[in-house]
Structure 1
Amino acid sequence: MQLLKKIKNSYKLRRKLMAYLFILPSLTIFILFILYPIVYSFIMSFYDWNILSTEASYIGLDNYNNMLNDSRFWNALKNTFYFSFGFVPIGIIISLILALFVNRKIKGKNIFRTIYFLPVIAPMSIIAIIWTFLLNPDIGMISYYFSLIGLENTAWLRDPDLAMPAVIMVSIWKEMGFNMVVFLAGLQSIDESYYEAARIDGATKLEQFFYVTLPLLKSTTAFVVIMTVIKSLQVFDQVYVMTGGGPLFSTETLVQYIYKLGFVNFNMGYGSTVAYALFILLLFVTIIQLRYFKGEE
């Protein structure tokens, strides 16, 4: 009996070791490239450290105090929320409309699905460069066609009032295909019997959408909203390429500001402080969303 127990224990131990060996590569990458930078940047937020200097001096909470009194930080935070409030609701609504359209039994729907999803495949930096040329008031195609129909030639990316809406528009165009595919998967998982029952009860198409489709898409919508909000608060590529944070800091977001602090001004200590402010913001917003959608179930 003891021999059998030893064999069983040995077999269980080998299985556990094998499981740990399988997750070891992913765990190593997580520790080296995610956990360690998070912990180290938190430590560095208490130091005054220039990346060009070999010494870092401990200053306690001075970086956090400076951040609270930094008008540029608050401007970047405002611009980040501005982008989020434009990008998230409009992008999700358009994605849902497109998903409803390509989910219908129409000819060529696979072609439409491919066309709508194509921008997702391209890197954001390339998309941003293309749209920068398109929106250029001197050589851009959009300005040219506007002039043909008698509309005013607008310098979208040079106007502080229009630069952020232009960035939001490009971001929605780039990302709507991904959310469309997620919504499409959710729509195709809804059993047709629900719609048949609604039609028997005399429900119109609009009533079927609000009382059948939307409630059954709740988990899909929760995923899309959470991922889109996180993505919007981390916006960087399109801002960096299209406007560089200008004009007059009207499009400078938190990630853009963190980049400038760390890799332009080489102020890693203060940059880490602002990065942690963004981390806390993301954590707070995500927890609120998870609790909201959990309470709705």
Structure 2
Amino acid sequence: MTAAPAPAPLPAPPSGTPGKVRKSGNPPGNRRRDLLIAAAFLVPNLVLLVVFTYRPLLDNIRLSFTSWNISSPSATFIGVDNYVEWFTSDSSRQVLWNTIVFTGSAVVGTMVLGLVLALLLDQKLFGRNAVRSLVFAPFVLAGAAVGVAFQFVFDPTFGLIQDLLARVGIDAPQFYQDPDWALFMVTATYIWKNLGYTFVIYLAALQARRVELDEAAEIDAASTWTKFRRVTWPQLRPATFFLLITVLLNSFQVFDVISVMTRGGPLGNGTTTMVYQIYQETFVNQRAGYGATVATIMFLGLLVITLVQVRVMERGRES
């Protein structure tokens, strides 16, 4: 008669004191090391921000309450006189209007045209990579160089536009004599130069969209407009908010194109924006205190606009 096999040994009880749970988390030494590493990366950047951003900003605000010739060693405190002068001056209203028209036209123009080009060049077309490069190329050029080149494009005597209009019997506008046409000229030049930026951002957003949504729209036989409005556009909203902020801030601070093409004219302040007025008052009229006032007003305006845009973006994400 065979003997029954021996029973398998029971598993050994877990080591350690029963009922105790091992604590998780970093030991104090590791946390201290992480804090030191974070400080090593953050402190130099904070120092640079304080020295080159926040301190000059505070100095500019301080100078806005003074009357200071930039060549003088001292400034005279005059309170809010500079602010009163700017808000009550007719030239300031013209400068503000020029800034609003230029900035609004540049933002709308670059974003709309950039979106249209991105939608077109997102299709499978022959030579689309070469066209993409051509659209983006002007963005990397210097603004001063673009301004010099477009001076010849808009020249009313021998410019490209004058030649094209003459072929159909139309007189070219006086771009350098009429303030409205001069403002149109610098705005069109700026849009041409910066179109590649919005184009590239929109193209990247289009290529990152969800393909299955497009396929579902095709299965449902949605029209092109319905597909764009219901499927494509909602996926482009984050890129649109980003572009709205960056393009507006950049357009608000344009100096090089205006300086090269019109120097703020014609007829006084025909194309003078707030940034160009800061340069004009500070370095040409030798009124650094008044120039600091214009810079402070522009900073506060941009700050309010940015805060509103960020708030709208947050509400869009919550909804």
* Mapped partners of 2:102, 2:203: distance in 1: 25
1:235 match = 254
Q: What are the within-5 Å matches in structure 2 for residues 133-148 of structure 1? A: 133-148=152-167
Query: In the aligned structure 1, how far is the partner of 2:144 from the partner of 2:29?
Result: 53
Q: What residue number does 1:128 align with?
A: 147
Instruction: Select 1:35's aligned residue among 54, 61, 71.
Output: 54
Which residue, 187, 191, 216 being the options, matches 2:210? Answer: 191
Paired residue for 2:137, among 94, 104, 118?
118
Contact preservation (8 Å) 2:183, 2:271: yes
Q: Deviations over 1:253-273 (max 9, x none)?
A: 000111111111121111111
| Offset at residue 243 of structure 1 (A) | 0.6
Deviation at 1:15, TM superposition (A): 3.5
1:11-160 equivalent positions in 2, closer than 5 A = 11-160=30-179
Match for 1:113: what amino acid? R
Matched, 1:291 2:311: yes
Of residues 198, 223, 229, the one that matches 1:210 is: 229
| Superposed displacement of residue 124, structure 1 | 0.8
1:247 is paired with a residue whose SS is coil
Give structure 1 regions of 4+ aligned residues with deviation exceeding 4 angstroms: 7-11
1:219-239 per-residue CA deviation (whole Å, 9 max, x = no partner) reads 111001111111222122111
Give me the whole-angstrom Cα distance separating, in 1, the residues matched to 2:152 and 2:129. 30
One-letter amino acid of the structure 1 residue matched with residue 284 of structure 2: V
The reply to whether residue 278 of structure 1 matches residue 288 of structure 2 is no
Alignment partners' CA distance in 2, 1:58 and 1:168: 38
The number of aligned residues is 291
Normalised by the size of structure 1, how large is the TM-score?
0.93
Amino acid at match of 2:283: F
* 2:208 maps to amino acid: S
* Amino acid aligned to 1:293: M
**2:271 partner letter:** T
CA distance in structure 2 between the partners assigned to 1:291 and 1:224 by the alignment: 15
Partners of 1:62 and 1:152 in 2: CA distance: 47
1:166 equivalent to 2:203? Answer no
Equivalent residue number for residue 176 of structure 1? 195
In structure 2, what is the Cα distance between the partners aligned to 1:55 and 1:118? 46
Contact 2:67 2:75 in 1 (8 A): yes
Which consecutive residues of structure 2, in runs of 5 or more, have no partner in the other structure? 1-25
Greater shift, 144-153 or 125-134, is seen at 144-153
Deviations 1:156-192 (A, max 9, x none): 2322120111111111111111100000111111111
User: Following the alignment from structure 2 to structure 1, what is the Cα–Cα distance between the partners of residues 41 and 316?
Assistant: 37
> How far does residue 294 in structure 1 lie from its aligned partner after superposition?
2.4
Of 40-49 and 153-162, more deviation after overlay is shown by 153-162
CA contact (8 A) 2:173 2:181 kept: no
Q: Counterparts in 2 of 1:218-233, with a 5 A limit?
A: 218-233=237-252
Q: Which has the higher helix share?
A: 1
Tell me whether 144-153 or 86-95 shows the greater mean CA deviation: 144-153
Corresponding residue of 1:4: none
Q: How far apart, in 2, do the equivalents of 1:268 and 1:161 lie?
A: 29
User: Which stretch shows the higher mean deviation, 242-251 or 148-157?
Assistant: 148-157
* Distance across 1 between alignment mates of 2:168 and 2:180: 23
Which residue is equivalent to 2:11?
none
Match of 1:266 in 2: 286
Q: Which amino acid aligns with 1:69?
A: T
Q: Percent identity?
A: 34
Deviations 1:129-174 (A, max 9, x none): 1001221112323322332332213332322120111111111111
* Structure 1 partner of 2:9: none
Aligned equivalents of 2:221, 2:231: Cα separation in 1 = 13
Which of the pair has more CA radius of gyration?
2
Unaligned runs of 5+ in 1: 1-6
Residue equivalent to 1:252: 272
Shift of 1:67: 1.6
The answer (yes or no) to whether the contact 2:214–2:227 under 8 Å persists in 1 is yes
Could you tell me how far 1:12 is from its partner in structure 2?
3.5
